[in-house]
Amino acid sequence: MIDRIEYKYYVPAWMIPAIIADLEKFCIHDEHATREDHAYRVASVYFDDMGMRAYHQKLSGLPHRTKVRVRFYPDCGSDACFLEFKHKVADRIRKRKTRVDGIEDVLDAVQGGTKDWLLENVHALARHSGLKPIVRIDYDRIAMASKTDSQVRITLDTAIRCARVDNELRETPRIPVTPEDVGILEIKSPSYIPFFASMIIGKYRLQRRAISKYGNAIQNLSLNSAFTF
Per-residue pLDDT of the chain (229 residues; tens, 9 = 90+): 678 899 999 999 999 999 999 999 999 999 877 788 889 999 999 999 888 989 898 888 888 888 888 898 887 766 668 888 888 887 788 888 888 777 777 776 666 656 566 767 776 777 778 888 899 999 999 999 999 999 999 999 999 999 988 656 666 788 999 999 999 999 999 888 999 999 999 999 999 999 999 999 999 988 665 555 5
Q: Are 32 and 145 in contact (CB under 8 A)?
A: no
Q: Is residue 97 part of a domain?
A: yes
Count structural domains, the chain. Answer: 1
Is 229 part of a structural domain of the chain?
Answer: no
Residue 14 lies in a domain: yes
pTM of model > 0.75? yes
Q: If 0-12 CB within 10 Å is exposed, 13-18 middle and 19+ buried, where does residue 182 land?
A: middle
Asked if the structure places residue 147 within a domain, the reply is yes
Identify whether the C-beta of residue 145 lies closer than 8 Å to the C-beta of residue 38.
no
Domain that holds residue 156: 2-224
Report the CATH number at residue 139: 3.20.100.30
Give the residue from 79, 86, 67, 97 showing the smallest Cα distance to 170.
Answer: 79
- pLDDT at res. 74: 83
Predicted pLDDT of residue 172: 77
Classify residue 194: in a domain, yes or no. Answer: yes
Q: Look at the alpha carbons of 107, 69, 63, 50 in this order and tell me if their dihedral is positive or negative.
A: negative
Domain assignment of residue 28, yes or no: yes
Element (H, E) at 88: strand 81-89
Evaluate whether residue 47 is within a structural domain.
yes
164 three-state secondary structure: strand
d(CA 86, CA 65): 8
pLDDT at res. 211: 93
Residues in Cβ contact with 54 at an 8 Å cutoff, skipping those fewer than 6 apart: 46, 47, 48, 65, 66, 67, 68, 214
> Kind and range of the H or E element at 32?
none
Cα separation, 62 vs 87, whole angstroms: 12
* 128: DSSP letter: H
- Residue 77's pLDDT is 65
